[in-house]
Amino acid sequence: MAQQRATNITWHEGHVERQQREGLLKQRGATIWFTGLSGCGKSTIAYTVEHALVERGHLAYVLDGDNIRHGLNKNLGFSPEDRTENIRRIGEVAKLFADTGVVTMTSFISPYRADRDLVRKIHEDAKLPFIEVYVNVPVEVCETRDPKGLYKKARAGEIKEFTGISAPYEEPHKAELTLNNVDVTVQEMAQQTLDYLAQRDIVRA
Amino acid sequence: MAQQRATNITWHEGHVERQQREGLLKQRGATIWFTGLSGCGKSTIAYTVEHALVERGHLAYVLDGDNIRHGLNKNLGFSPEDRTENIRRIGEVAKLFADTGVVTMTSFISPYRADRDLVRKIHEDAKLPFIEVYVNVPVEVCETRDPKGLYKKARAGEIKEFTGISAPYEEPHKAELTLNNVDVTVQEMAQQTLDYLAQRDIVRA
């Protein structure tokens, strides 16, 4: 709905279409949903992909515990209900980011299949690409690595409802990409992710 | 932390700095918070500014009732507590958008000063520009316009706690910009907003 010309602008009302923003950015908005046990490497991979994308001129952003649990979701705990609401809110935010045209990566354990499927549906309803990436590392390996000492605390009973120890992790049945993070470098897994995004026409090859 | 060179990429771990994304986008991330009574013109102005920015090659996005109340905040009602949580969540999401480098506009009545001040603080803590725009229209004028027939329903008691009629609107004390939307075109108010953003070096003049 062009309205009138003032200075050098054609004024429009109403929403800007997603495709216009994607055209500016020369990429497609999408959500890359990393899921896996604590310590499996989700965030390291996501941030490595983010760096590589930004170096190639793409706009990417990572949502993770650091920027979500201390902000948007700071009023949620770790009960099953709160975990579900945690993931639901993150999914809704990721959808808005993807609608903006951003290559959005999320790095959360997100242990319940139903929660991940809900987020998938939110994206499907908005006709936005949702790419579930399962970072697959056996719990014994994660526990040996234990970079934050969380498994030790979980074994000592200092952390309740710890995924893989005292709370379930439901493996994805339909992940678009599975990264087996054992005897492989972060760079190789980041490259696999980038290749997949190029194959899906989300970013340039 | 450069790690190694694979294909043509220098691999990095850790977060991408906001300034890198802002450099790509040739703009600064910021939140433009429109506040005012129902029917005052917030969304119309915000979408007009969005269009003008995207035409100039800037990445902008509007958060409003349509994309928030049916998604992220669909589990909230209109009690004072829920209104506060509604605005808090929107503020946290706007902060993440601004951190991504997006010129983020929000269009919500946001009637309570304390709620808006909380959102301002969230942005100040993250060293992100927060620009409160008060769209100032007397309630009598909004009620006469009543584009959605909401004032009529509020008068008939069909909508409880309706801002300006049966619930308070607390005027901003420190809005960065006030748009008096009476006898002025949407284009003029959009231009005022664009001029202000250029003056603050958020977008190109």
Residue B13 has pLDDT above 90, yes or no: no
Q: Give A48's contacts in chain B (Cβ within 8 Å).
A: 11-13
Q: Give A51's contacts in chain B (Cβ within 8 Å).
A: 11-14, 16
Size of interface A-B (CB pairs under 8 A): 137
The reply to whether residue A16 touches residue B51, judged by beta carbons under 8 angstroms, is: yes
* Lowest-pLDDT choice from A9-18, A38-47, B122-131: A9-18
In this prediction, residue B9 carries a pLDDT of 55
Q: Give B97's contacts in chain A (Cβ within 8 Å).
A: 96-97, 100
**Between A8 and A190, the higher pLDDT residue:** A190
**Per-residue pLDDT tens over the stretch A105-115:** 999 999 999 99
The reply to whether residue B92 touches residue A99, judged by beta carbons under 8 angstroms, is: no
Give me the residue from B4, B47, B85 closest to A187, CB to CB.
Answer: B4
The reply to whether residue A11 touches residue B89, judged by beta carbons under 8 angstroms, is: no
**Beta-carbon contacts of residue A97 (< 8 Å; ≥ 6 apart):** A29, A31, A61, A63, A104, B96, B97, B100
Q: pLDDT-based confidence at B96, cuts 50/70/90?
A: very high
**Residue range B66-79: mean pLDDT, rounded:** 91
Q: Is B65 left (phi over 0), alpha (psi -120 to 50) or beta?
A: alpha
In this prediction, residue A13 carries a pLDDT of 67
**Residue range A29-53: mean pLDDT, rounded:** 97
Spell out the SS3 assignment of A72-102: HCCCCCCCHHHHHHHHHHHHHHHHHHHHHCC
Supply the DSSP symbol for B163.
B
User: Which of B13, B103, B105 to probe by mutation at the A interface, max A CB count within 10 Å?
Assistant: B13
> Which ranges constitute the DSSP H helices of B110-185?
113-125, 139-145, 150-155
In this prediction, residue A205 carries a pLDDT of 79
Q: pLDDT-based confidence at A78, cuts 50/70/90?
A: confident
**Residue range A39-66: mean pLDDT, rounded:** 95
d(CA A19, CA B133): 28
Give me the residue from B16, B60, B72 closest to A54, CB to CB.
Answer: B16
Closest residue in B to A122 (Cα–Cα): B71
The reply to whether residue B67 touches residue A3, judged by beta carbons under 8 angstroms, is: no
Catalytic residue list contains A166 = no
**Residue range A163-174: mean pLDDT, rounded:** 95
**Residue range A152-166: mean pLDDT, rounded:** 94
**Between B12 and A17, the higher pLDDT residue:** A17
- How large a percentage of chain B has pLDDT more than 70? 94
Q: Give B20's contacts in chain A (Cβ within 8 Å).
A: 54
**Per-residue pLDDT tens over the stretch B156-192:** 999 988 999 999 999 999 999 999 999 999 999 999 9
In this prediction, residue B66 carries a pLDDT of 87
**Residue range A40-62: mean pLDDT, rounded:** 96
Residue A204 has pLDDT above 90, yes or no: no
Average model confidence (pLDDT) across chain A: 92
The reply to whether residue A60 touches residue B102, judged by beta carbons under 8 angstroms, is: no
Q: Give B81's contacts in chain A (Cβ within 8 Å).
A: none
d(CA A201, CA B65): 31
Q: Are B95 and B50 in contact (CB under 8 A)?
A: no
d(CA B34, CA B42): 6
Catalytic residues of B: 110
User: Which of B1, B3, B4, B16 to probe by mutation at the A interface, max A CB count within 10 Å?
Assistant: B16
Q: How far A157 CA lies from chain B's nearest CA (Å)?
A: 31
Residue B41 has pLDDT above 50, yes or no: yes
d(CA A164, CA A1): 54
Q: Which residues pair with A85 in a beta bridge?
A: none
Identity of residue B176: E
Q: What strands lie across the sheet with A103-107, from one edge to the other?
A: A60-64, A103-107, A30-35, A130-136, A177-180
- What does A137-195 look like in DSSP terms, one character per residue? --HHHHHHH-TTSHHHHHHTTSSSS-BTTTB-----SS-SEEEE-SS--HHHHHHHHHH
The reply to whether residue A96 touches residue B55, judged by beta carbons under 8 angstroms, is: no
Q: Give B52's contacts in chain A (Cβ within 8 Å).
A: 9, 11-12
CA distances from B43 to A32, B24, B65, B109, B170 (A): 30, 28, 9, 10, 19
In this prediction, residue B204 carries a pLDDT of 86
Q: pLDDT-based confidence at A7, cuts 50/70/90?
A: very low
d(CA B164, CA B111): 9
The answer to pTM > 0.90 is: yes
In this prediction, residue A75 carries a pLDDT of 95
Average model confidence (pLDDT) across chain B: 92
The reply to whether residue A71 touches residue B92, judged by beta carbons under 8 angstroms, is: yes
Q: Which H or E element spans position A12?
A: strand A9-12
d(CA A52, CA A71): 26
In this prediction, residue A43 carries a pLDDT of 95
Give me the residue from A52, A89, A101 closest to B11, CB to CB.
Answer: A52
Task: Select which of A43, A79, A107, A110 is catalytic.
Answer: A110
Residue B4 has pLDDT above 70, yes or no: no
The reply to whether residue A51 touches residue B16, judged by beta carbons under 8 angstroms, is: yes
In this prediction, residue B1 carries a pLDDT of 37
Give me the residue from A20, A62, A72 closest to B89, CB to CB.
Answer: A72
